[in-house]
Structure 1
Amino acid sequence: MGCDGGTIPKRHELVKGPKKVEKVDKNAELLAKWKFCALSQERLRRPIVSCELGRLYNKDVVIEYLLDKSAERPNADAVAHIRGTKDIKELNLTDNPEWEGERRNAKGDIYEDIHRGMFICPVVGLEMNGKHRFCYLQTCGCVFSERALKEVKTEICHKCGDPFEDDNIIVLNGTKEEVEKQREKMEERRAKAKTKKSKKTKAAESESTPAASKGAAKPPPADTAGRSSMLNGDGSSQSAVAGPSGSSSSSKSSKSSTSSATKRSIQDLEEKSEAFKSLFTTHSSAKRSKDQMSNWVTHTPYHF
């Protein structure tokens, strides 16, 4: 069967075979990882930060994400493990003097080397373009090539002099296996940090509870102790609980009771004479009737 014009279709035009697997261009992949932000896909510009998995971001983009996580972003999975600014580290990068960037003249036909890196290793001088493995230190954020760390073995940073350990080294844009290993290390560090926080909180609670128990074990004040003992009718318990203050208060109360008792019974004492008894107001001579009582008179009366 033919089409218009007498053309005869061939077999590969009618029968569709299996689709060919599209191969990712390595150069494009390197450009996307080492020259563009992993979240916004914009060109990297200072300040540049990295996470614990070794991905590169623009700092302002990550801060915008942390401020508003509800906003829809195409590459939100790349920053799902970032909880705050403590999970990222600003990188201390060394500029490549041969990289012109936007400074070069774009007029005319100029060959542009896509493998030219914006930054280099300060020790060996290798370009940070994806062909060489680079890593950074979590302590200070300085970036070096892996070759420099292997050739010049030291426990001090080559650039700023801060000490570091092997666990502080994080590979930038590593392979899938390396990313999984770094993710496991990240989870271990976070778990250790949680245990430390829980221990600190428990220690603070244990310190506060003995102080509260000591405050609760203090004896009640003398007044309350005396009142409770008076209600119970136990004088000995008052002296034992209240201490010296309780004993002084009990002695005062006993003196007042004895003095009142003597005042009330002074007239009944047969040993005392009538002259002595007449000195007190309780004597019969001190009592007067209503007829004997005079009215109140002012010194300067006024009559209107």
Structure 2
Amino acid sequence: MGCDGGTIPKRHELVKGPKKVEKVDKDAELVAQWNYCTLSQEILRRPIVACELGRLYNKDAVIEFLLDKSSEKALGKAASHIKSIKNVTELRLSDNPAWEGDRGNTKGDKHDDLQRARFICPVVGLEMNGRHRFCFLRCCGCVFSERALKEIKAEVCHTCGAAFQDDDVIVLNGTKEDVETLKKRMEERRLRAKVGKKGKKPKAAESVSKPGVSEESPGPSKIKAMKPEENLDSREKKANSAPKSAANGSSSGKIGKPLSGAAKRSIADSEESEAYKSLFTTHSSAKRSKEESAHWVTHTSYCF
């Protein structure tokens, strides 16, 4: 059975010491960084995009992450700085003609050389396997080795000819120091973009609120909208000018319709002729005496 007096325990079996620090295999880390998506941990496949910190992603994984922000994933922290699809750049990668992929190991009887990369630098020909530093241009998305940019100094992209600045060069899968530098650049760039948007808004508000432009040269829609108001103003002017014309007509001897707002004047007190006054019931010739009038009430125009 054992432990019956014939066994002697050793010190490491009785005393527990500190745990050994697990060392990460550098080769496995390089393979994971350059061949797998940082967000979904799937094999990189075109279209491949890179963020402003130099990490590689599958474009469909980034779109799914932006659409489904409610899911809290541990891997989502790696893409927490990606707020929209504009924060990533689609890469233009050059294929490696020596890379066979899965075609050479269909039966499983060969060793897969993971250090052989799918993509290379189009200028120098170095493989993008993590052994050499690579970077991309944020303006056009072309990928080069850092050696190519240092040896062939130019202010124009070697592939597409697009002009770029030092701020547009972003290192892919750089060290911690590189990531900190890129993070500072990203924050400064986004801050400048916010300040620029705030500066544009007041200018747009001033151009809209200029009264001189809208009053001097109104558009066709404004002219159509002002037509009903103009009709109302013309009606009010006609109504105000009607009492004046009525007063002028009475002085000249012409008959006019009495206005409701004007003061009523008796025809007997007017300066018209007696023949004209006799046409109305207020004239003395139209009035009857008590003897001529009946003792009953009639609803006629001669009832006073």
Tell me which interval the TM-score lies in, with the shorter structure as reference length: 0.7 to 0.9
Cα deviation for residue 180 of structure 1 reads 1.0
Q: Deviations over 1:186-229 (max 9, x none)?
A: 111111111122222222222233349977xxxxx7999999xx
Q: Distance in 2 between matches of 1:90 and 1:223?
A: 61
Aligned twin of 1:176: 176
Q: 2: distance between equivalents of 1:37 and 1:214?
A: 55
Q: Distance in 2 between matches of 1:81 and 1:90?
A: 17
> Matched residues in 1 for 2:172 and 2:181: separation?
13
Write the distance in 1 (CA, Å) between the matches of 2:6 and 2:212: 102
The answer on 1:19 being equivalent to 2:19 is yes
* Cα distance in 2, alignment partners of residues 85 and 59 from structure 1: 9
Aligned partner of 1:206 in structure 2 is 206
Q: Is the 8 A contact 1:40 1:61 kept in 2?
A: yes
The C-alpha deviation readout for 1:36-92, integer Å capped at 9, x for no partner, is: 111111111111111110000111111111111112323111010111111111111
CA shift in 2, pair 1:146/1:224, >3 Å: same
Report Cα offsets for 1:217-260 as digits up to 9, x if no partner.
xxxx7999999xxxxxxxxxxxxxxxxx96x9866642321323
TM-fit CA distance, 1:127:
0.3
Partner of 1:256: 246
Query: How many percent of aligned residue pairs carry the same amino acid?
Result: 58
CA distance in 2, matches of 1:286, 1:151: 126
Listed one character per residue, the Cα deviations across residues 146-201 of structure 1 (whole Å, up to 9, x for unaligned) are 11111111121111122211111111001111111111111111111111222222
Change (3 A) 1:193 1:258: same
List alignment gaps of at least 5 residues for structure 2.
216-228, 256-264, 295-304
| Paired residues for 1:233-248 under 5 Å | none
Aligned counterpart, 1:33: 33
Superposed counterparts of 1:149-188, under 5 Å: 149-188=149-188
CA distance in 2 between partners of 1:172 and 1:214 (Å) = 53
* Aligned-partner Cα distance in 1 for 2:121–2:97: 12
**Structure 1 position 102, deviation (Å):** 1.5
**1:30-179 to 2 correspondence within 5 Å?**
30-107=30-107, 109-179=109-179
Runs of 4+ in 1 over 4 A off after TM superposition: 212-215, 221-227, 248-252, 261-270, 272-278, 280-291
Per the normalisation by structure 1, the TM-score is: 0.75
Q: CA RMSD in A?
A: 3.6
Given that 1:44 and 1:58 are in contact with CA atoms closer than 8 Å, whether structure 2 keeps it comes out as yes
Q: Distance in 2 between matches of 1:282 and 1:147?
A: 119
Greater shift after overlay, 259-268 or 38-47?
259-268
Match of 1:297 in 2: none
Q: Per the alignment, do residues 223 and 47 of structure 1 end up closer, same or farther by CA in structure 2, a change over 3 Å counting?
A: closer
| Distance in 2 between residues matched to 1:212 and 1:5, nearest whole Å | 109
SS, match of residue 139 in structure 2: coil
CA distance in 2, matches of 1:127, 1:17: 44
Structure 1 residues 146 and 190, CA, compared in 2 at 3 Å: closer, same or farther? same
Unaligned segments of structure 1, at least 5 residues = 216-220, 228-244, 292-304
Q: What TM-score, normalized by structure 2, do the two folds share?
A: 0.75
Does the 8 A contact of 2:52 with 2:182 survive in 1?
yes
> Tell me, what secondary structure is at the counterpart of 2:209?
helix
SS of the residue aligned with 1:16? coil
Provide the C-alpha distance between the structure 2 equivalents of 1:125 and 1:281, rounded to a whole number of angstroms: 118
Change (3 A) 1:222 1:286: farther
Change (3 A) 1:6 1:276: closer
Deviation at 1:97? 0.8
- Aligned partner of 1:175: which letter? T
Show the counterpart of 2:297. Answer: none
